[in-house]
A and B are shown apart, each in its own frame.
Chain A
Amino acid sequence: GAVVSQHPSRVICKSGTSVKIECRSLDFQATTMFWYRQFPKQSLMLMATSNEGSKATYEQGVEKDKFLINHASLTLSTLTVTSAHPEDSSFYICSARLRKGSGANVLTFGAGSRLTVL
């Protein structure tokens, strides 16, 4: 089945540093990936839609200069949290849509990356 791999699963960093999270589709090509954020005891909230070869589309209230998204290939999207602060501490989850023509219309999610900013 379709597998999405996220790395790292956990990261602790100092305030002011930048952190990169990778999201890879392992056995399928993903033209579109989605990045979500989840705070404790809350539901997932969409941050941005990552499109291969073009700029990401950000949800209202999400700073594009702070959360840099790159989707340079059909199997890799990266989220970089720049100048991280403690309030950026959260669980970040990516998901991928199977490329049209595959017959599937569901999203496959990564295992998530827990970011803690000290």
Chain B
Amino acid sequence: DAKTTQPPSMDCAEGRAANLPCNHSTISGNEYVYWYRQIHSQGPQYIIHGLKNNETNEMASLIITEDRKSSTLILPHATLRDTAVYYCIVRVVENAGNMLTFGGGTRLMVKP
């Protein structure tokens, strides 16, 4: 799996958009970008995934650069409940249901 790099922490004002970056410069053509988050003292939660097109669901949007070497997870209107550690993981889709390796992630703090 391609290695990912994320900033260790970010702050965001409540109600504003939270933009969480992820670098994956060694990503292969068949690897997807997955995002999970972990709220304190809870299990991780799947957010979104994508290959090369931008994706949007009820939780977030995923913007992947044209060269696929980086991506950004966007929480359009962050709330206090979005405070969590966000993990960017790159996997081939066939292995995405297998065990995941979690890096350090980005600790997002949403402030009032």
* Contact in complex: A6, B97 (CB < 8 Å): no
* Contact in complex: A105, B93 (CB < 8 Å): yes
In whole angstroms, what is the CA distance A110 to B38 when docked? Answer: 11
Q: Which residue of B lies closest to A2 (CB)?
A: B46
Q: Which residue of A lies closest to B42 (CB)?
A: A111
Picked from B42, B46, B99, the residue with its CB within 8 Å of the CB of A106 is B46
A25-78 residues at the B interface, CB under 8 angstroms: 32, 34, 43-46, 49
Interface size on A, residues (CB 8 A): 25
Contacts of A24 in B (CB 8 A): none
Q: Which residue of B lies closest to A42 (CB)?
A: B104
Q: A43-B102, A98-B97, A106-B97 are in contact. Are A6 and B46 (CB under 8 A)?
A: no
- B contact residues, range: 20 to 34
* Contact in complex: B101, A108 (CB < 8 Å): no
Picked from B94, B101, B103, B105, the residue with its CB within 8 Å of the CB of A105 is B94
27 contacts across the A-B interface (CB closer than 8 A):
A4-B43, A32-B97, A34-B99, A43-B87, A43-B102, A43-B104, A43-B105, A44-B44, A45-B102, A46-B99, A46-B100, A49-B99, A93-B43, A93-B44, A95-B44, A97-B97, A97-B98, A105-B93, A105-B94, A106-B34, A106-B49, A107-B46, A107-B96, A108-B46, A109-B45, A111-B43, A114-B41
Contacts of B102 in A (CB 8 A): 43-45
Q: A93-B43, A112-B41 are in contact. Are A107 and B94 (CB under 8 A)?
A: no
Is chain A's interface secondary structure helix, strand, loop, or mixed overall? Answer: strand
B39 to chain A: closest CB distance in Å?
10
Picked from A43, A107, A109, A111, the residue with its CB within 8 Å of the CB of B97 is A107
In whole angstroms, what is the CA distance A114 to B43 when docked? Answer: 11
B68-112 residues at the A interface, CB under 8 angstroms: 87, 93-94, 96-105
Contacts of B49 in A (CB 8 A): 106
Contacts of B42 in A (CB 8 A): 111-112
* Contact in complex: A43, B103 (CB < 8 Å): yes
In whole angstroms, what is the CA distance A32 to B44 when docked? Answer: 17
A84-118 residues at the B interface, CB under 8 angstroms: 91, 93-95, 97-98, 104-112, 114
